[in-house]
Chains A and B, each alone.
Chain A
Amino acid sequence: MRLTVINGSPRRGRSNTEFLFKLFLEGFESVEGNSSENHYINSKDWPEKGVEVFSSAECVLLGFPLYVDAMPSIVMAFFERLKPLCGRRGNPDIMFHVQCGFPEAFHLRPVERYLARLAGRLGCRHIGTLIKGGGEGFRQMPEKYTRTLYDNYRALGRCFGESGELDRELLKKVTGPERLSFVGRLMIRAVFAPMLARHWNAVLKKNGVYEQRFARPHEA
């Protein structure tokens, strides 16, 4: 199978989406006969070129980070361009990947429902949507905390490469918790939020703007 990978992250090759795609593709391409090609929505010739890429694809994996609770504007601009392809015969099968920095998966559920409707509008077979909470900062974690996650991405890719379907059990594992438990919230408050704050503050200091971190430039 030839998989057309469309990365909708404005950060392109440096993105968390790209990193997770690579793991998925490692698994996918370990199955003989499978190959992939990569495209970035944040490119000079998009979204126009996207229509051509999309309409000639056999199977599409389209991913993006959650930007203020939905798709980034460049991804929406691409979706708008696909309108003439609605209901066209020969549209590709499609699956989506959406991740967000928040640890809970519930932030991603409304956009997941939107994407299922989008696939229906286009008349694409919707293979599924992989949603992933905690999608920011995981690359800075020690390997022992991320090994299982990375292995699950590879296994998902391999499974898809063999069957053309996303394994539901693996999907659940990758997605993470829907909402945080009492203990989870405590961990965020006591451990993760302060750790993130230390990280941001170090960067703010390096940039010489730590004192301005709470600036309110639009306040009259």
Chain B
Amino acid sequence: MKITIFNGSPADHGGDINAYLERLSGILRSPDGGGHLVRELKLRELNIKPCVGCFGCWLKTPGLCVHNDDSSIASDAAANSEFLIHASPLVMGFTSSLLRWAAEKTIVNLLPYFSVIKGEVRHKWRYRSKAPTIGVLVGREGDTSEDDLEIIRDIYQQIALEIQTRLRFVLDTGSHAQEVANAINGN
């Protein structure tokens, strides 16, 4: 299975999520972990321009952002993966602004038209293959509560419904990397 990890950690050091993702990737690539094709995108290393709501990706260059940044790397990875992990430390109770950037740029992979899907108004996924299943991995802050994690779960659940896929899990780096790999493998 093709797995992409959006690493939304803002820093190379200071926070254990980078090392955690290395361990997780190692497990997922190993024959026992499924022998998956894993690609980690360190979002902090990409040239990032925030979405400005211009709809150019729908109306001028359909399927691509009109702004000259690395968002096509993220949207390509989202269009061509079967599993997509959003990973970042929590700051102010939510995943990082880097991950927000990657999520807001997935609008390029949607069609502009409104559709009613399961009784709810949505934009249809642009591609023939299904959007990747989503998993969320967070590093807790000192004051992270179960309420915070519930809110994060509900927001990512909405994102998954938005792109007509499923949210498999929201886990934190307190879980063993093997447990996260098992959740990805559906065990």
Which residues of A are in contact with B by a Cβ distance under 8 Å? 9-11, 15, 42, 65, 67-74, 76-77, 79-80, 82-83, 86, 102-104, 106-107, 109-111, 113-114, 117-118, 121, 179-180, 185, 188-189, 192-193, 196-197, 200, 203-204, 207, 209, 212-220
Q: Is B181 among interface residues, defined by CB-CB distance under 8 A?
A: no
Number of A-B contacts (CB under 8 A): 160
Interface size class of B (residues with CB under 8 A): 35 or more
Q: Is B21 among interface residues, defined by CB-CB distance under 8 A?
A: no
In the complex, which residues of chain A have a beta carbon less than 8 angstroms from the beta carbon of B164? none
**Residues A68 and B103 in contact in the complex (CB < 8 Å), given A73-B50, A83-B91, A117-B147:** yes
Point out the residue from A11, A77, A118 that lies within 8 Å of B93, measured CB to CB: A118
Q: Is B119 among interface residues, defined by CB-CB distance under 8 A?
A: yes
Q: Is B76 among interface residues, defined by CB-CB distance under 8 A?
A: yes
- Other than the given A114-B151, A180-B121, A207-B59, 13 more pairs (CB < 8 A) read A69-B159, A72-B53, A80-B96, A80-B97, A83-B91, A103-B121, A106-B120, A118-B93, A121-B92, A121-B93, A180-B119, A207-B60, A218-B80
A-B contact pairs, 30 of them (CB 8 A): A11-B52, A65-B53, A67-B103, A70-B103, A72-B100, A79-B92, A107-B158, A109-B154, A110-B154, A121-B143, A179-B119, A180-B121, A193-B116, A196-B114, A197-B113, A200-B112, A207-B60, A209-B59, A209-B62, A212-B62, A213-B112, A214-B111, A214-B126, A215-B62, A215-B126, A217-B62, A218-B63, A219-B127, A219-B128, A220-B80
